[in-house]
């Protein structure tokens, strides 16, 4: 499960938008238990003062990103974690699950391009849980809360907290597999 949070302004598109929370859960596809967690706050380089709106939305305050690694160093730490967890040992053994295509189709590619960071091949294919939910139910969801409601699962934590969103996505993933018999496959790709 992967769910970035990024710099933002109310009613304004900022460029470049920068990742400020980089959470990822390693989840066992048979038990749906979280086996390992990568969670890092990231210091933005251009918009280095978080807006009040960003803090209200994500719960991330300035002190949480100040002094943290920039994205390039965070990506290096993430790659080491992926390797230590043996997630890159066999092609196709692991795949990211996101709530929408924004994280890996828009946010990461744009920021990597802006800062001239090489995006790993393994971050170019994913499962968009919204698309999987729609395939299984015939309903296109607006977000995590709607999918949880469908399965009568209470939302835990704070909405737009990347780590909490990841944990809630796990619950949707589990419900789709156990209640709908859904078999997941890659449905998102960015060259």
- The residues carrying an active-site annotation are 5, 160
> By the 8 A CB rule, do 161 and 5 touch?
yes
The answer to whether the bond into 16 is cis (omega within 30° of 0) is yes
Say how far apart CA 165 and CA 83 lie, in whole Å. 24
Phi and psi of 188, rounded to 5°? -135, 140
Residue 100: other Cβ atoms inside 10 A: 18
Say how far apart CA 118 and CA 139 lie, in whole Å. 36
Say how far apart CA 59 and CA 32 lie, in whole Å. 27
């Amino acid at each position: 499960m992967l769910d970035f949070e990024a710099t933002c302004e109310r009613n304004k598109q900022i460029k470049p938008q920068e990742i400020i929370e980089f959470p990822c859960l390693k989840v066992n596809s048979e038990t749906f238990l979280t086996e390992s967690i990568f969670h890092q706050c990231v210091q933005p380089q251009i918009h280095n003062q978080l807006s009040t709106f960003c803090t209200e939305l994500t719960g991330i305050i300035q002190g949480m990103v100040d002094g943290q690694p920039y994205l390039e160093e965070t990506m290096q730490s993430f790659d080491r974690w992926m390797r230590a967890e043996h997630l890159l040992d066999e092609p196709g053994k692991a795949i990211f699950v996101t709530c929408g295509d924004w994280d890996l189709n828009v946010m990461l590619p744009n920021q990597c391009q802006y800062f001239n960071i090489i995006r790993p091949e393994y971050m170019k294919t994913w499962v968009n849980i919204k698309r999987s939910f729609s395939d299984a139910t015939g309903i296109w969801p607006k977000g995590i809360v709607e999918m949880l409601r469908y399965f009568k699962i209470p939302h835990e934590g704070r909405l737009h907290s990347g780590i909490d969103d990841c944990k809630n996505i796990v619950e949707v993933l589990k419900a789709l597999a156990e209640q709908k018999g859904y078999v997941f496959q890659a449905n998102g790709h960015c060259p």
